[in-house]
Amino acid sequence: MNPGRGKKREGFWADAGKRLKRNKAAMLGLMMVILFILVAMLAPLLAPYQPEQIDLFSVLTPPSREHWLGTDYYGRDLLSRIIYGTRISLAVGLTVQLISLTIGTLLGSLAGYYGGKVDLVIMRIVDIVLSFPSLLLIIAIMVALGPSIFNVFLALGLVSWTRTARIMRSEFIVTRERDYVKAARAIGNNHFRIMFKHILPNCLAPLIIIFTMGIANAIMMEASLSFLGLGAQEPTPSWGSIINNGLQYLRTAPWYSLFPGLAIAYTVLGFNLLGDGLRDALDPKMKDV
Amino acid sequence: MFQYILYRLCLVFPVLLGVMLITFFLMYIVPGDPVLTMLGQHASDESIARIRAQLRLDDPWYSQLANYLLRTLRGDLGRSYITHIPVRDALLQKLPNTVRLALAAIVVAIIMGVTIGIISAIYQNSWIDYVAMTFALLFISTPVFWFGMLLVFFFAMRLGWFPISGMGDGGWQYLFLPAITLGSRFAAFLARYTRSVMLEIIRDDYIRTARAKGVKESMVVLKHALKNVMIPVITVIGLNLASLLNGSVLTESIFAWPGFGRYMVAAIQKRDFQVIAGSVLVGAVIFIFFNLIVDLLYVALDPRIKYE
């Protein structure tokens, strides 16, 4: 190990941590995200009812002491459904980011490291995927695969890796010329080891930013798909599908669609605030990513 | 510059081919039999066989693909399985409505976004700036369809100021809420970007020169700085074109706006695959050409930009 380099990295992360802590908006975002994750983990303890518990004697009741946020068309408790909905959103955010970061990092680093024809082919694939308006491509994939929450993971993951690929490519192009990479090559490391053992750990900062922002985006996209009836199916308590179901009762039971929308806005805002803060703290150059 | 334009134009062809291939294969692997969608569950075996032959569904995939590419290039997008209306004719009828909605949304976005961005930059770090930027982030984080629903609830159902849905006789009152819905998220992106560009501009030398000459502050902003705001406007429109198209699909669903997005969403519910495939393809083609125009406008507006 090179002690000098290790110290420098530590300094970078410590500095970034300090910058992040000073950023009030980012800390608010962090707290919102932590609360969201806690609700998802503790859902069975927090929810007053089972999310699928049907009660036909209290259909579409307005918010009351028994049902804080009212009930839906089947008399299910909306608060409980929204609380369990955090699990769907969290699962979507994490899984989609796992898929898209894996594909994006792999293709982006190959393109950036090897350059030439590999780069050309990979970047043309990126161009083609990016030339679809994302929702249309996701809709087409969902129609082809059939609506289910698992297919939502797959469709969103398959469409959203391009940004990661582009950023990782440019990181690798810069990094592959660094002295320590040349040194690693000179002492006979193979390409795989150089790419993933030497270069990749130095590209962690942009990956963290993409990860955070990507979760917000994935949650929003899942909600949109479920709202169009292409995502999670009944009785899964996805926020988007609750809004969709409530839409026809908008005049008589506005709370039905109101609260799940607030939940989406809260969660996405939390991740966006945190993402903005992380970007400013980790990489001031990376604007508008 | 001409080299760049030529390169950019040539880039369109492989991308178009890729888009057609993806659309074909997605529809090729669709589960279920489209013929049953057309004829219903009780169709006789002969009529199923006849339609399958007519649609060439029993051909090997490569011959289906070749046939698909040829007819798509001729502008034939097939017929709806349900209404039997050619998809191209239906799209030609719906697209102008979507364009109208999108243009109105862009106008809303430019008026709101540029104004808020400039004010935020001038009063940087004041409470005005914080409130404006908080609202911008709030709008970016709010689902378009939910915001549209809130507008319908308050302004159409409760206050009765605007019609709830549809396009009616095409009057502006039908356009108002959908345009605000679609435009507000766009305005938020634009406000954030305009602010950051303005912050750089007002520190530039030529602004200092203008001030030093004794030009009034309002004139400095309006005359000298505003001119340079066109580039962020184009950038944001370019970067968020996908978001505008995505948003129009959702907005049209909420407001029953008879455009391209609603046509496609209605087809999803009826599993009318020919319509879905045609709409996705046309949406992508429109998107590709708008991106091309935005890229070329860039070169025209800023001669420093060259291909990397």
Please report, as a single letter, which amino acid is at residue B114.
Answer: V
User: What pTM did the predictor assign?
Assistant: 0.87
Cβ <8 Å between B15 and A269: no
Confidence bin at B303 (pLDDT 50/70/90): low
Question: Which class for B74: exposed (0-12), middle (13-18), buried (19 or more C-beta within 10 A)?
Answer: exposed
Given CB atoms, is A285 within the 8 Å cutoff of chain B?
no
* Domains, chain A, with CATH or none: 36-286 (1.10.3720.10)
Q: What tens digit of pLDDT does each residue of A89-100 get?
A: 999 999 999 999
What residues of chain A score a pLDDT lower than 50? 1-6, 287-289
**Of A96, A103, A78, nearest in space to A216 by CA:** A96
Contact A47, A79 (CB under 8 A): yes
Tokens 């805002």 belong to A269
As a dihedral over the C-alpha atoms of residue B44, residue B47, residue B53, residue B57, rounded to 10 degrees, the angle is -50
Hey, is the C-beta of B9 within 8 angstroms of any chain A C-beta?
no
Residue given tokens 């004041």 in the structure block:
B126
CA B304 to chain centre: 28
Indicate the range of A191-200, B163-172, B253-262 predicted with least confidence: B163-172
Distance (Å, whole) CA B236 – CA B197: 11
Question: What is residue B308's predicted lDDT score, i.e. its pLDDT?
Answer: 43
Residue A135 and residue B249: Cβ atoms within 8 Å?
yes
**Pair B225, B201: CB distance under 8 Å:** yes
pLDDT digits (tens, 9 = 90+) for B9-33: 887 888 888 888 888 888 888 766 6
Best of A89, A121, A132 to disrupt the B interface (most B CBs within 10 Å) is A132
Q: If we measure between CA atoms, which residue out of A166, A154, A155 comes closest to residue A207? A: A166
B62 and B208 Cβ atoms separated by less than 8 Å: no
pLDDT for A157: 93
**Could you count the other beta carbons within 10 Å of the beta carbon of residue A138?**
25
Quote the tokens at residue B276.
């879905």
Q: Which tens digit of pLDDT belongs to each residue from A149-191?
A: 889 999 999 999 998 999 999 888 888 888 888 888 888 888 8
In the predicted structure, residue B269 carries a pLDDT above the cut 90: no
Say yes or no: A24 contacts chain B, CB-CB below 8 A: no
Q: CA–CA separation, A212 vs A271, rounded Å? A: 6
pLDDT given at position B158: 87
* pLDDT at residue number A285: 58
**Given a cut of 60, is residue B201 above it in pLDDT?**
yes
> What domains appear along chain B, each with residue ranges and CATH number?
32-76 (no CATH), 88-301 (1.10.3720.10)
Q: Is A250 on the interface with B (CB under 8 A)?
A: yes
Pairs of residues, one from chain A and one from chain B, whose beta carbons lie less than 8 Å apart: 141
Question: For residue A194, what pLDDT is reported?
Answer: 87
The per-residue pLDDT for A8 is: 53
> B1 versus B139: which is more confidently predicted?
B139
What is the arithmetic mean of pLDDT over B82-87? 87
Closest residue, chain A, to B243 (C-alpha):
A133
Q: Decide if A243 touches B, using CB distance below 8 A.
A: yes
Q: Of B19, B239, B280, which has the smallest distance from its Cβ to A139's Cβ?
A: B280
Q: Indicate the residue of B31, B138, B268 with minimum beta-carbon distance to A228.
A: B268
Q: Do B279 and A136 touch (CB under 8 A)?
A: yes
Distance of CA B272 to the CA centre of its chain: 22
> For residues B131 and B206, is the Cβ–Cβ distance under 8 A?
no
Do the Cβ atoms of B265 and A228 come within 8 Å?
yes
Buried b (16+ CB within 10 A) or exposed e, A247-275: beebeebbbbbbbbbebbbebbbbbbbbb
What ipTM was assigned to the predicted interfaces of this complex? Answer: 0.87
Phi, psi of A223 (to 5 degrees): -60, -45
Band of pLDDT at residue B305, cut at 50, 70 and 90? low
**Whether A124 and B14 lie within 8 Å, measured CB to CB:** yes
Q: A146 vs B19: CB contact, 8 Å cut-off?
A: no
